[in-house]
Structure 1
Amino acid sequence: MTMQNTQFFTRNLLGRDFVVGDIHAQHTAFMLALREVRFDFAKDRVFSVGDLIDRGPQNKLATQLLAQRWFFAVRGNHEQLVLDQFAPERVILRDRAHLTPRESHIKSDGHWFFELTPTEQRWYYRQFKALPYFIEIDSDAGRVGLCHAGVPAEFTDWQTMKAKSVSREIREAVLRNRSANSQNNAISGIGVTVHGHTGFKDIKQVNNSFWIDTFKKSGKITLLELNDLFARARRL
């Protein structure tokens, strides 16, 4: 179900749950990561921090993951760039106020999208329009919260941030902020939080928050089991 832009998932009683960093049209690399952990497609689940598209060559294959019963994703800023071509919802970024939605997407490696037919473009719109801003997953160790870019720096409580996401500016910040470089406090109201957007060579951890967008700087997609997240958080 969805509520306040959030999709909730109960504990997986059959298999394991994983989080995956930004895939960015690298479907082959993602499938390799699944193979390395011996992913069970009948029992396990994967939760994505968003940005399935752009930068890589396999945009359609990456987007088709959303049709799989074992794969779920929050909205990333690159999915929003597609949505903006049809019904712009976000506030205009200060550094892109002079750009049209088309120009903004091209600037973010989205040139491929404008080589598609209108029918093909609308297919992507339909895939992305229902993506939530937040996902919460119950696990044996506690609750995991996902949003794309991170909890904006002005918040230290997950539930407060979600409540404030009725504001378009907060939703914009959830998709585009760089809190990985400024967050110092633990986030209350949730067990651990997981994000992408800001690239690192390895997993970036600040208290109980994790940033797992590693492909651009390391060539490897990060795939982590939820229990491993809590183990890392406890080691601090």
Structure 2
Amino acid sequence: MSMRLTPHRFFATNPVGVDWVCGDLHGEFEALQTALSGAGFNKAADRLFLPGDTIDRGPESRALLEWVLDTDWVYSVIGNHELMFIAGAEDNRNRYKHRGMGGGWAATLDETSYKNLATQCRYQLPLTMTLECESGQLGLVHAQSPFDDWRTVQDTPFSERFAIECTWPWNRAQGKNQTISGITAVVSGHIGTAEIIQRGNQIWIDVLARTGQVPLMPAHRVLERVAQVQRGG
């Protein structure tokens, strides 16, 4: 991976509106817009945070990706699908791998559009994010936290290994309850399940493909849910 990616971004508390979190969308642009409208999302004050994998498989990958990149109240980390899309801009051989992951839409892009979109992804989509909320801090990473302490995640410089560890493994979701220290809760997607999974203070919300329901919720509700499950409620 010849070009660096942003390893981490921090977001202060939203002083005027609600911060929302949504799971992997995979090109389901219309479904997201319907969910935002139904939830009463306020474009003048609210913000939307995504755990990556905005593209591939679904019908509107390009439209959704461009919207995410061009909308100033939408923020996403990089998922493994965006990572493969970026890799395709660096080496054509990676485009075949990306196509096998549902990235056939990228073959319809002219070369300039492909590389421009990939460059935007590099510069605008970090590998991890921390969101400050009134009731705690929410970490976002596509697959799982690469470290047991979120402060290490925040301080780790970019490397290809770090990028892979943030976007591919999901063994934490298969193991026993484990709390990631230095953060109130960690939100991920990636694994495509029929229900939300929680292990300690880690939560995986990639349920759209299996349920048809867009997993959109306010960030403070995510923190409440994680705390309730940890208490055994």
> TM-score over 0.5 for the alignment?
yes
Q: How does 1:19-168 map to 2 (within 5 A)?
A: 19-63=21-65, 64-87=67-90, 100-130=93-123, 131-152=125-146, 155-164=147-156, 166-168=158-160
Alignment of 1:152-231 (within 5 A): 152=146, 155-164=147-156, 166-178=158-170, 179-182=172-175, 184-231=177-224
- Cα gap change, 1:183 to 1:170, in 2 (>3 Å): farther
Tell me if the contact between 1:133 and 1:171 (Cα under 8 Å) persists in the aligned partners: yes
Give the Cα–Cα distance (whole angstroms) in 2 for the partners of residues 20 and 45 of structure 1.
Answer: 11
Amino acid at match of 2:151: Q
Tell me, in whole angstroms, the C-alpha distance in 2 between the residues paired with 1:145 and 1:21.
14
1:118 shift after superposition: 1.0
- SS of the residue aligned with 2:89? coil
C-alpha spacing 1:204/1:186, structure 2 compared with 1 (3 Å): same
Amino acid corresponding to residue 132 of structure 2 in structure 1: D
Consecutive unaligned residues in structure 1, runs of 5 or more: 89-98
Report the residue type matching 2:148 in the other structure.
Answer: T
More off after superposition, 162-171 vs 224-233: 162-171
CA distance in 2, matches of 1:4, 1:105: 21
Instruction: Give me the TM-score of the superposition, normalised by structure 1.
Output: 0.88
Write the distance in 1 (CA, Å) between the matches of 2:176 and 2:77: 21
Task: For residues 27-58 of structure 1, give each alpha carbon's deviation from its aligned partner in whole angstroms, at most 9, with x where no partner exists.
Answer: 00101111121000001100010111100111
Identity in percent: 32
Distance 1:37 1:28 in 2: 14
| RMSD over equivalenced CA pairs, Å | 1.9
Structure 1 residue 209: Cα displacement: 0.9
- Among candidates 5, 10, 24, match of residue 12 of structure 2: 10
